[in-house]
Amino acid sequence: MTGSFKKVAVIGWPISHSLSPTIHNHWMKQKGIEGVYEKVAVGPDAIETAISRFKKEGYSGFNVTVPHKEAIMPFLDKIAPLARQMGAVNTVKIGGDGTTTGFNTDGIGLVTNLKKNVPDWPKDKPVLILGAGGAARAAALGLLTEDVPFVMITNRTRAKAEAITNDVGRGRMTVVDWDHRMDAVAAAGVIVNTTVLGMKGQPALEMDLTSAAKDTVVYDIVYQPLMTPLLKDAEKLGLRTVTGLGMLVYQAAASFKIWFGEDVDYDDALRQVLEAGFQ
Ligand code: ATR
Q: State in Å: Cα 196 to ligand 1 middle.
A: 6
CB atoms within 10 A of CB 276: 8
What lines the ligand 1 site, CB under 6 Å?
131-136, 155-157, 160, 194-197
Any idea which residues carry the catalytic annotation? 69
56 lies in the same domain as 124: no
- Could you tell me if 189 and 121 are in contact, meaning their C-beta atoms sit under 8 angstroms apart? yes
For 161, counting Cβ atoms within 10 Å of its Cβ (0-12 exposed, 13-18 middle, 19+ buried), the class is buried
Query: Which pLDDT belongs to residue 13?
Result: 96
Q: What is the spatial distance between Cα 266 and Cα 254, in angstroms, rounded to a whole number?
A: 12
**Residue 188 covered by a domain:** yes
For residue 17, the enclosing domain spans 6-104+246-276
118 lies in the same domain as 210: yes
**Residue 80 covered by a domain:** yes
66 lies in the same domain as 163: no
84 lies in the same domain as 208: no
Q: How many separate domains does the chain show?
A: 2
Query: Which pLDDT belongs to residue 146?
Result: 87
> What is the length of the chain?
279
211 lies in the same domain as 127: yes
- Could you tell me if 164 and 136 are in contact, meaning their C-beta atoms sit under 8 angstroms apart? yes
Query: Which pLDDT belongs to residue 3?
Result: 62
111 lies in the same domain as 83: no
For 196, counting Cβ atoms within 10 Å of its Cβ (0-12 exposed, 13-18 middle, 19+ buried), the class is middle
State the 10-residue block means of pLDDT for the chain, 279 residues long.
83 93 97 97 97 98 96 98 95 97 97 96 97 96 92 98 96 98 98 96 96 98 95 98 97 98 96 84
Residue 131 CA: which ligand 1 atom is closest? 14
181 lies in the same domain as 80: no
